[in-house]
């Protein structure tokens, strides 16, 4: 009798314990509202302000057309604002930048008419070689086109030390140094005066028209003249 009473009492306790601890209800997290898609700019939306330059001011006055010196306006990437590049960078850094800008002009020059990739590379390589850059620099110096400040940049960039043994063996140290000085000048003008850079590259023959062979032909003619002049100067010495 006592055992039956104890068992019944234990069952009652278990049931009471079960009833006083109900199962917790599942949490209901708020549903995340989807973000609206980004709004595309409309023709009437406000465009970001373009930094004012001398070229922009001439454009507002109606003095600049669709092209400026044969180049599409604003086609180069915006350069960082550096007032005195020589106080921050060495000549090798500016030549590194100028090499990229120079090749960009060369690739754009040969973009028209459409060609195969191999033909593009072949024509561009003829212009970006240090021998070609040396001839183009000589053209600027012979025409007395550069300012005294630009000539000072050339002298500064001419002293760049190099470890490119293949290039120096092929073209010579003097040719490589002169080519590096031209790249230094291009990098310097890109940071300080992009309009002057466009004038200089236009002077060298880089354009947007269908003149794919102009620069290469001129380089070949200059190489022949220099070779013939050197041969003529050596003839009396050999005799």
**pLDDT tens digits for 84-122?**
999 999 999 999 999 999 999 999 999 888 889 999 999
Catalytic residues: 99
Give the number of other Cβ atoms within 10 Å of residue 160's Cβ: 20
Comparing 134-138, 148-152, 163-167, the range with the smallest average pLDDT is: 163-167
Quickly list H helices, 67-144.
91-109, 117-128, 130-142
What's the pLDDT at 78?
A: 85
Q: What's the whole-model pTM score?
A: 0.62
Where are the extended beta strands (E) located within 85-152?
none
> H or E stretch including 5?
helix 2-20
Q: Considering just the CA atoms, what is the radius of gyration of the chain in Å? A: 36
Task: Select from 198, 200, 186, 195 the least CA-distant residue to 153.
Answer: 186
E strand segments, 37-196: 67-68, 71-72
Q: Is 70 helix (H, G, I), strand (E, B) or coil?
A: coil
Q: Tell me how far apart the alpha carbons of residues 86 and 180 are, in angstroms, rounded to a whole number.
A: 16
Q: Taking the domains of the chain in order of start, what are their residue ranges?
A: 89-226
What CATH class is the domain 89-226?
A: mainly alpha
Residue 25 neighbours by CB under 8 Å, 6+ apart: none
Q: What is the pLDDT of residues 177-206, one digit of tens each?
A: 999 999 999 999 999 999 999 999 999 989
pLDDT of residue 43: 44
Asked if residue 148 has pLDDT above 50, the reply is: yes
The sign of the torsion formed by the CA atoms of 109, 110, 114, 117 equals negative
**Cβ(126)–Cβ(106) under 8 Å?**
no
What is residue 110's three-state secondary structure?
coil
């Amino acid at each position: 009798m006592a055992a039956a009473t104890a068992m019944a009492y234990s069952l009652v306790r278990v049931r009471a314990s079960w009833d006083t601890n109900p199962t917790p209800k599942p949490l209901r997290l708020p549903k995340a509202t989807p973000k609206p898609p980004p709004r595309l700019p409309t023709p009437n939306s406000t465009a970001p302000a373009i930094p004012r330059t001398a070229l922009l001011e001439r454009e507002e006055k109606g003095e600049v057309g669709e092209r400026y010196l044969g180049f599409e306006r604003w086609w180069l990437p915006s350069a960082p604002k550096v007032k005195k590049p020589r106080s921050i960078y060495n000549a090798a850094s500016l030549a590194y930048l100028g090499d990229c800008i120079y090749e960009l002009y060369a690739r754009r020059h040969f973009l028209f008419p459409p060609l195969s990739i191999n033909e593009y590379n072949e024509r561009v390589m003829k212009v970006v070689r240090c021998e070609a850059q040396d001839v183009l620099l000589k053209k600027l110096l012979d025409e007395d086109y550069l300012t005294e400040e630009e000539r000072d940049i050339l002298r500064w960039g001419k002293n760049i030390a190099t470890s490119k043994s293949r290039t120096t063996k092929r073209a010579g140290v003097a040719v490589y140094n002169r080519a590096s000085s031209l790249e230094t000048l291009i990098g310097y003008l890109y940071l300080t005066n992009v309009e002057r850079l466009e004038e200089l590259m236009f002077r060298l023959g880089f354009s947007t028209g269908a003149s794919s062979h102009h620069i290469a032909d001129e380089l070949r003619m200059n190489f022949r003249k220099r070779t013939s002049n050197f041969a003529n100067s050596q003839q009396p010495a050999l005799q």
